[in-house]
């Protein structure tokens, strides 16, 4: 039989799987000799047994009893004894904290007898009856599942009758009366009595914690966060200590350094004569932690000492909950504390300087997501514009524009060159065009998986959602904010996607110092200490990550300008240079000619006109990436993308009637001929190359001549030619043979490889590798085809619903879906390498800049990731972290 219960003296911080985060850290502190109230932890294994068997596992009750007796013995008190009773709290504590689960029941052990003992022992009758009614209230809500409202109403009733507004104005008799009322509520609602047996109270509370593991909100949360369903939760039984036993008592939270900036010092809040729940309720104002030095110098000194001990021990910023009971300091909880992105970088390097951690560990302490946050422009905090609301930080960035309330208006104003913010109660797929036209999106409803949030993140557009204080009146084209603020259509507002803040008027935007650093326009030696330290920290950790990473990082860039920027951001080449933009703009006419060509000669003439233009594009890119590899993808999209829209052109011709121009008529013919039901699955990529004679060879010749020209000019151009949308090796062979002929003719060398973006390419990678010198995973298309949905169509239509239902934890377009797409990738890597051991393997889908996906790419052994220039630093950092994590991925 497994051991189901651990005394705090038996556990340690590394047993989170078994004891949960809270229990493991309580044990750790106990072993460090810190003043933790005695107690024990029931393991998550016991929970798993309970959930599996539908009842407490054999032997658990006995083991709990043994530990409880030991606790009673140690405390010299008995649980719920009539005189001087021992009281305990029951607290859930899973490995990962999880909203929706039962959290805590305090004051277990009180009943009509022991409440007297507590009163006597504390010398405070009011305190004792208040504690008792709190127990019934908490127990009723969380264990018995009653509406909290019922209890709130009863207490309000008492206050109203008494003519007071604060709980502080209620006396012992009032609380005693409330205890009776509460018992009545329990009886009425459940048909049974509130259990007076202390051990029964505890048993029910423990079981309620176990049951809450499967509360619907907890299940959905786990799905969304991809926390396995079978972990279970631990339960902590802790002797009660009271911060509400008078002015010499109190409760507080502390941080071992500033979680906002990373600054060293003492940060926290303290509230005299209170319990933790009072702090949360916000009835009274807390004081800064430093004031504790005046209120209780001895406890303060001891607290600082403990904070130092914990930080040295955990070698990281810790946050702490503590209670002082009549001058005696107790530690109720500690954990490694959350912090802002800037603080994370600064703290990591500070800890290195303090000798607590080495640079390897420091790199592990910061994340690509944090770095990305630091790269967004921010609003100038000192600008002093009025903050009118706060919603959820759904998609980062800082956006300023005129408020508009409909998609139509967003498009109109945007077309006039205005910046607009689309404001809606919530968005629907109908708002898609408006979201595209807007600089940012603000909604008053919905959370981080709402339609607005999901779509905005997909677009990389700033979004604040669920700003519930706002009343949006779309018909009236206005919204109102608290304090009588009304914003009419056309009024300028500013929204901060990183903080969820909404400001009236235009807030000046401040460039990111981290971006300035990458751009080379800022060093760590300026006049603003905080910024300088941040830049120094980023510099140091990036260099170290670069040193450690195994994977190269390239950029997706189509122009010399993007290529140059990517290089400044640390890109080691171009992993994806799309050639289709080279067919747009002024050249559209030539492409139309190509499509309208009715003879081989006409087609040839159109291609001949395009070739020198293509060549000059490539020359510029090779120049910007001199000495580094440039992977050029031959044209991929279906040709009709270069022609007018079928519906628009049909309407135009219908309205023009006999006056329609011959060219328009011919164009309509071509558009109809090339029209496809599903262009994503149509005539594109390598299929174009095989079906339209001369198209790919024109591109290859342009590349070869650009290489020759750069080489003649003393440059070091390194071209790689990439064939898109291959699904069978035979397709690739044909195109490769033609390309090799041209390369041989021009005396130019270039690797020829292929995208792996069609499931069949991955499934037959062993064969395809025989004809490909490199693979580049096109995970956008691969995700679309593996899941069978197109990003354009379904992301707006139902991703938010899928996230709500927990079908995805995160959109598979954001992070590689390991079980589906990832499985195909792993298979292609293994079989591709088996067939050609020196094959070069990379990724050029947008996942190449996503932290978790970068780890996955490292795990499966890719040689490089390629992403947008702006994400290059993120990919560098995460590639370093992945290498340091030793092949194991950090999924949270």
Rounded distance between C-alpha atoms, residue 43 and residue 237, angstroms: 11
Number of residues that make up the chain:
892
Q: In terms of CB distance, is 180 or 229 closer to its own copies?
A: 229
Which residue lies nearer to its own copies by CB, 613 or 690? 690
Q: How many CA atoms does the CB half-sphere of 305 hold within 13 Å?
A: 11
- Residues 649, 109: Cα–Cα separation, whole Å: 79
Active-site residue, from 451, 544, 847, 855: 451
Query: Is 451 known to be catalytic?
Result: yes
Kindly state the smallest distance separating residue 638's Cβ from its own copies, in Å: 9
Between residues 315 and 425, which has the closer beta carbon with respect to its own copies?
425
Question: Is residue 78 annotated as involved in ligand binding?
Answer: no
- Residue 633 annotated in ligand binding: yes
Count Cβ atoms below 10 Å from residue 288 Cβ, excluding itself: 11
Nearer to its own copies, 402 or 684 (CB): 684
For the bound state, the minimum distance from the C-beta of residue 54 to its own copies, rounded and expressed in Å, comes to: 20
Q: Which residues pair with 485 in a beta bridge?
A: 481
Confirm or deny that 792 is annotated as ligand binding: no
Judge whether 781 is annotated as a binding position: yes
Helix (H) or strand (E) holding 374: helix 368-375
Structure tokens at 526: 């300026």
Q: The dihedral of CA 308, 311, 315, 316: what is its sign?
A: negative
Other Cβ atoms less than 10 A from the Cβ of 725: the count is 22
Quote the least distance from Cβ 646 to its own copies, whole Å. Answer: 6
Structure tokens at 683: 């005539």
Residue 817 CB, shortest distance to its own copies, in Å, is 8
Q: DSSP of 699-716, one letter per residue? A: HHHHHHHHHHHHHHTT--
Selection from 775, 357, 875 nearest residue 883 by Cα = 875
C-alpha to C-alpha distance for 477 and 422, rounded to whole angstroms: 11
What is the distance between the alpha carbons of residues 832 and 835, in angstroms, rounded to a whole number? 5
| Residue among 204 and 815 whose Cβ is closer to its own copies | 815
> Helix 198-212 vs helix 60-75: angle between axes, to the nearest 10 degrees?
130
Q: Pick between residue 665 and residue 673 the one whose CB is nearest to its own copies.
A: 673
Chain Cα centroid distance, residue 231: 22
SS3 of 245-285: the string is CCCCCEEEEEEEECCCCCCEEEEEEEEECCCHHHHHHCCCC
Can you give 406-450 as a three-state secondary structure string?
CHHHHHHHHHCCCCEEEEECCCCHHHHHHHHHCCEEEECCCCCCC
Locate the DSSP E strands across 120-193.
none
Q: Contact at 8 Å (CB) between 82 and 73? A: no
Distance CA 607, CA 723 (A): 19
To its own copies, the closest distance from the beta carbon of 802 in angstroms equals 7
We find the least distance from the C-beta atom of residue 195 to its own copies, in angstroms, to be 34
Residues found near its own copies in the complex (CB under 8 A)? 223, 429-430, 646-647, 650-651, 654-655, 673, 676-683, 687, 690-691, 725, 727-728, 730-731, 734, 757-760, 763-764, 767, 781, 784-790, 792-794, 797-798, 801-802, 805-808, 817, 819-821, 823-824
- 313 noted as active-site residue: no
Which contiguous run of DSSP H or E holds residue 578? Answer: strand 574-578
Q: Which of 463, 844, 857, 867 is catalytic?
A: 844
By C-alpha distance, which of 289, 285, 293, 291 is closest to 322? 289
Instruction: Please tell me whether residue 110 adopts helix, strand or coil conformation.
Output: coil
* Residue among 397, 435, 432, 437 nearest 417 (CA): 437
Burial letters 622-653, b for 16+ CB under 10 A, else e: bbbbbebbbbbbbbbbbbbebbbeeeebeebb
Nearest distance from C-beta of residue 73 to its own copies, angstroms: 48
* Cβ at position 648, least distance to its own copies in Å: 8
What is the DSSP code (8-state) at residue 694? T
DSSP secondary structure letter of residue 345: H
Residue whose CB is less far from its own copies, 499 or 779: 779
Any idea which residue has 């691969």 for tokens?
782
Q: Which of 882, 873, 886 is nearest to 542 (CA)?
A: 873
- Provide, rounded to whole angstroms, the least separation between the CB of residue 582 and its own copies: 23
- CB 823, min distance to its own copies, A: 5
CB nearer to its own copies: pick between 366 and 782: 782
Residue 601 marked as a ligand binder? no
Is residue 779 part of an annotated ligand binding site?
yes
Cα distances from 455 to residues 137, 280, 460, in angstroms, run 42, 34, 9
The overall longest dimension of the chain from CA atoms, in Å, is: 106
User: Which of 223, 550 has the CB closer to its own copies?
Assistant: 223
Complex with its own copies: residue 453 or 674, whichever CB lies closer: 674
107 is in an annotated binding site: no
Binding site residue list for substrate: 578, 633, 757, 778-781
Residues assigned a catalytic role: 451, 844
List, as residue ranges, the binding site for Mg(2+). Answer: 757, 781
Q: Which residues are annotated as a binding site?
A: 578, 633, 757, 778-781
């Amino acid at each position: 039989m497994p051991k189901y219960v651990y005394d705090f003296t038996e556990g340690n911080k590394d047993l989170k799987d078994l004891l949960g985060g809270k229990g493991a850290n309580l044990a750790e502190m106990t072993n460090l000799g810190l003043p933790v109230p005695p107690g024990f932890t029931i393991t998550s294994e016991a929970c798993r047994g309970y959930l599996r068997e539908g009842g407490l596992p054999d032997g658990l009750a006995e083991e709990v009893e043994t530990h409880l007796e030991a606790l009673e013995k140690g405390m010299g008190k008995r649980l719920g004894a009539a005189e001087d009773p021992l009281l305990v709290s029951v607290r859930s504590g899973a490995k990962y904290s999880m909203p929706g689960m039962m959290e805590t029941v305090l004051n277990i052990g009180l009943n009509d007898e022991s409440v007297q003992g507590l009163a006597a022992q504390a010398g405070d009758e009011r305190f004792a009856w208040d504690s008792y009614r709190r127990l019934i209230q908490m127990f009723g809500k969380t264990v018995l599942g009653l509406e909290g409202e019922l209890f709130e109403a009863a207490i309000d009733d008492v206050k109203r009758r008494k003519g007071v507004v604060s709980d502080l104005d209620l006396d012992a008799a009032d609380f005693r009366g409330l205890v009776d009322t509460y018992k009545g509520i329990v009886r009425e609602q459940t048909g049974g009595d509130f259990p007076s047996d202390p051990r029964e109270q505890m048993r029910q509370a423990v079981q309620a914690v176990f049951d809450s593991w499967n509360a619907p909100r907890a299940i959905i949360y786990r799905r969304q966060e991809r926390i396995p369903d079978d972990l279970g939760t631990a339960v902590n039984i802790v002797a009660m200590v009271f911060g509400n036993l008078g002015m010499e008592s109190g409760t507080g939270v502390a941080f071992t350094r500033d979680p906002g900036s990373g600054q060293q010092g003492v940060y926290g809040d303290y509230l005299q004569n209170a319990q933790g729940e009072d702090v949360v309720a916000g009835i009274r104002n807390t004081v800064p932690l430093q004031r504790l030095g005046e209120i209780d110098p001895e406890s303060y000194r001891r607290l600082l000492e403990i904070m130092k001990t914990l930080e040295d021990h955990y070698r990281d910023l810790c946050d702490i909950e503590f209670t002082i009971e009549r001058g005696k300091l107790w530690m109720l909880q500690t954990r490694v504390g959350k912090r802002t992105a800037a603080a994370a970088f600064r703290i990591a390097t500070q800890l290195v300087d303090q000798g607590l951690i080495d640079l390897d560990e420091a790199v592990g302490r910061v994340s690509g997501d944090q770095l990305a946050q630091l790269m967004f422009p921010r609003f100038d905090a000192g600008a002093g514009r009025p903050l009118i609301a706060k919603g959820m930080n759904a998609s980062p960035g800082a956006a300023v524009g005129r408020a508009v309330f409909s998609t139509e208006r967003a498009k109109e104003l945007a077309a006039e060159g205005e910046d607009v913010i689309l404001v809606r109660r919530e968005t629907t797929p109908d708002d898609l065009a408006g979201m595209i036209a807007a600089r940012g999106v603000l909604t008053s409803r919905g959370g981080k998986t709402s339609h607005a949030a999901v779509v905005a993140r997909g677009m990389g557009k700033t979004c604040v959602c669920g700003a519930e204080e706002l009343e949006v009146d779309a018909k009236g084209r206005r919204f109102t904010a608290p304090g009588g603020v009304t914003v009419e259509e056309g009024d300028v507002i500013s929204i901060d996607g990183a903080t969820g803040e909404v400001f009236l008027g235009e807030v000046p935007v401040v460039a990111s110092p981290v971006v300035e650093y990458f751009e080379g326009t800022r060093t760590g030696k300026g006049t603003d200490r905080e910024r300088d330290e941040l830049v120094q920290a980023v510099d140091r950790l990036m260099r170290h990550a670069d040193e450690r990473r195994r994977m190269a990082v390239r950029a997706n860039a189509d122009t010399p300008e993007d290529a140059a920027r990517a290089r400044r951001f640390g890109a080691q080449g171009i992993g994806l240079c799309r050639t289709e933009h080279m067919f747009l703009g002024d050249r559209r006419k030539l492409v139309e000619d190509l499509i309208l060509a009715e003879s081989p000669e006409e087609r040839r003439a159109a291609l001949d006109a395009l070739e020198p233009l293509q060549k000059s594009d490539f020359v510029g890119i090779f120049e910007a990436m001199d000495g580094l590899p440039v992977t050029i993808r031959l044209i991929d999209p279906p040709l009709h993308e270069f022609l007018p829209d079928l519906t628009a052109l049909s309407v135009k011709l219908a309205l023009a009637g006999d006056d329609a121009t011959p060219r328009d008529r011919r164009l309509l013919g071509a558009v109809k001929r090339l029209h496809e039901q599903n262009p994503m699955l149509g005539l594109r990529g390598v299929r174009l190359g095989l079906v339209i004679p001369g198209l790919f060879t024109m591109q290859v010749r342009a590349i070869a001549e650009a290489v020759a020209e750069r080489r003649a000019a003393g440059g070091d151009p390194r071209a790689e030619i990439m064939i898109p949308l291959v699904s069978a090796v035979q397709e690739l062979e044909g195109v490769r043979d033609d390309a090799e002929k041209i390369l041989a003719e021009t005396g130019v060398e270039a690797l020829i490889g292929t995208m792996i973006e069609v499931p069949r390419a991955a499934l037959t990678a062993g064969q395809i590798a025989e004809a490909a010198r490199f693979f580049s995973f096109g995970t956008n298309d691969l995700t679309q085809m593996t899941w069978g949905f197109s990003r354009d169509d379904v992301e707006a239509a139902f991703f938010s619903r899928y996230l709500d239902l927990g079908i995805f934890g995160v959109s598979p377009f954001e992070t590689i879906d390991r079980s589906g797409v990832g499985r195909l990738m792993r298979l292609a890597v293994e079989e591709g390498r088996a067939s050609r051991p020196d094959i070069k393997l990379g990724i050029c889908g947008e996942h190449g800049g996503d932290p978790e996906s970068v780890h996955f790419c490292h795990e499966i052994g890719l040689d490089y990731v390629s992403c947008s220039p702006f994400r290059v630093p993120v990919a560098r950092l995460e590639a370093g972290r992945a290498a340091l994590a030793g092949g194991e991925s950090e999924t949270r």
